């Protein structure tokens, strides 16, 4: 992998990740852009204790442009975009409309391919590996920023999810705090260790493998399963079989196997509701341990290596043509009601395996 850093016309950082070491990237962003003006702030809810990012400037972000005006396509044929070059493998750049910026963190966009009409599931294994390498590099780099406490690499796919750009891409949020979801996991991890002396993540993975009814896909280095208490109708968790706290800690064998396993999962998601359906909307995200400098480690009787890197993939579609809406119980009280038994979801995801 070759990494090339440059700057966009408004000063934002852009990084090319190329499969070939001899690739030259010297295109210049010639757009007449004003400097980015953000007004992001973090506010704490005094009752719940969680954080809310207030970012009013995001109201002006690009919303469903025509394909020939996509800002994530390469710059070509006289049309200038966020990517100055005429082609690319993988690109990462600072979001022009970030939810987090400066002392409140950082937001980046990850373009998986220059092909506007593709999706992640259409990538080759080599292309998916390059995306994994980019996620890993950005996790390592962002974790070194003084304000950053946790790095979250994720993809939103589909208009039903709320995606405003159709080009295959994801995002990276570098938070100035550990997220509430992660803090809940860490408290459960600490409690389980105090009660049993064992690691909760290891026990969850071992129990799922022993039971087998919710296993969707098992490789030599990765296991994918529908969790016992899945929140979403179709939800899969993907764990490396050897526990590591974050992407940079993954071994080469696990990195090499990941593209095959993950691409198969995404392709099954696109088949789960049958032929003739539009592409399945989904959210996919990496859960990583907070950075070593996170102040919360002093409050917990666990060390950072006790956390288990894992990916969570789920769709908001509950059946053909119908969405799972977060109504009163889910939105009001955070108590999920799942319409599809996890064992049934796992059966279906096994049924639609590639031939």
Which secondary structure element, helix H or strand E, spans residue 311, and what is its range?
Answer: strand 310-315
Does 180-351 match 2-175 at the fold level? yes
CA distance 265 to 110: 20
Indicate if the pLDDT at residue 63 is higher than 60: no
Nearest to 166 by CA among 283, 91, 279, 67: 67
The confidence score (pLDDT) of residue 55 equals 83
Judging by DSSP bridges, how do beta strands 322-323 and 317-319 pair with one another?
Answer: antiparallel
Q: Is 169 a catalytic residue?
A: yes
The confidence score (pLDDT) of residue 59 equals 59
Tokens of 202: 């290891």
> What's the CATH fold of domain 180-351?
HIT family, subunit A (3.30.428)
Indicate if the pLDDT at residue 129 is higher than 60: yes
- DSSP type of residue 290: P
Indicate if the pLDDT at residue 61 is higher than 70: no
pLDDT in tens, 246-281: 999 999 999 999 999 999 999 999 999 987 778 899
The confidence score (pLDDT) of residue 57 equals 66
- For the chain, percent of residues with pLDDT exceeding 90: 83
Instruction: Answer positive or negative: Cα dihedral of 323, 57, 118, 259.
Output: negative
Q: How does residue 102 score in pLDDT terms, banded at 50, 70 and 90?
A: confident
Mean pLDDT of the chain: 94
According to CATH, what is the number of the domain 2-175? 3.30.428.10
**Considering 116, 167, 169, 192, which one is annotated as catalytic?**
169
CB 53 within 8 A of CB 47: no
Indicate if the pLDDT at residue 46 is higher than 90: yes
CA distance 2 to 20: 7
- Per-residue pLDDT, averaged over 153-181, amounts to 94
CB 4 within 8 A of CB 67: no
Maximum distance among all Cα pairs of the chain, rounded to whole angstroms = 64
Nearest to 89 by CA among 14, 21, 172, 16: 16
Angle between helices 200-211 and 180-196 (to 10 degrees): 80
DSSP-based three-state secondary structure for 56: helix
Instruction: Answer positive or negative: Cα dihedral of 307, 262, 283, 165.
Output: positive
CA distance 241 to 245: 12
Q: How does residue 64 score in pLDDT terms, banded at 50, 70 and 90?
A: low
CA distance 208 to 198: 16
CA distance 299 to 330: 30
The counts of H helices and E strands in the chain are 6, 15
Helix intervals (H) in 244-352:
252-271, 333, 342-351
pLDDT in tens, 274-291: 877 788 999 999 999 999
Domain boundaries, the chain: 2-175, 180-351
- For the chain, percent of residues with pLDDT exceeding 70: 98
Nearest to 168 by CA among 226, 110, 207: 110
pLDDT in tens, 17-40: 999 999 999 999 999 998 877 778
**CB under 8 A, 24+ apart: contacts of 63-66:** 63/164, 64/159, 64/164, 64/165, 64/166, 65/165
pLDDT in tens, 309-319: 999 999 999 99
- Residue 76: strand pairing partners: 79
């Amino acid at each position: 992998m070759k990494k090339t850093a440059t700057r966009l016309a408004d000063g934002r950082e852009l990084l090319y990740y190329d499969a070939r070491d001899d690739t030259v990237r010297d295109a210049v962003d010639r757009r007449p852009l004003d400097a980015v003006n953000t007004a992001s702030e973090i506010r704490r809810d005094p009752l719940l204790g969680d954080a809310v990012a207030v970012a009013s400037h995001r109201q002006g972000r690009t919303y469903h442009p025509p394909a020939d005006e996509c800002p994530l396509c390469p710059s070509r044929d006289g049309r200038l975009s966020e990517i100055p070059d005429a082609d690319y493998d993988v690109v990462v750049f600072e979001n022009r409309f970030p939810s987090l910026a400066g002392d409140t963190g950082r937001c980046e966009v990850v373009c998986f391919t220059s092909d506007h009409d593709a999706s992640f599931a259409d990538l080759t294994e080599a292309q998916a590996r390059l995306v994994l390498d980019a996620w890993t590099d950005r996790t390592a780099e962002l974790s070194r920023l003084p304000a950053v406490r946790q790095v979250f690499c994720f993809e939103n796919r589909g208009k039903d999810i709320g995606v405003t750009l159709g080009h295959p891409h994801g995002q990276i949020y570098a938070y100035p705090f550990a997220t509430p979801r992660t803090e809940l996991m860490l408290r459960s991890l600490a409690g389980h260790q105090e009660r049993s002396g064992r690691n909760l993540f290891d026990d969850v993975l071992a129990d799922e493998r022993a039971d087998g009814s919710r296993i969707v896909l098992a490789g030599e280095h990765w296991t994918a399963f529908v969790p016992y208490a899945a929140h979403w109708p179709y939800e899969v968790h993907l764990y490396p079989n050897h526990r590591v706290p974050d992407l940079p800690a993954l071994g080469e064998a696990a990195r090499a196997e990941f593209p095959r396993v993950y691409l198969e999962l995404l392709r099954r998601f696109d088949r789960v509701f049958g032929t003739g359906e539009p592409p399945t909307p989904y959210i996919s995200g990496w859960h990583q341990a907070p950075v070593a400098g996170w102040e919360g480690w002093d409050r917990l009787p666990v060390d950072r290596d006790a956390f288990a890197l894992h990916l969570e993939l789920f769709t908001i579609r509950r059946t053909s043509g119908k969405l799972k809406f977060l109504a009163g119980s889910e939105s009001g009280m955070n108590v999920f009601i799942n319409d599809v038994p996890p064992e049934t979801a796992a059966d279906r995801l096994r049924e639609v395996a590639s031939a």
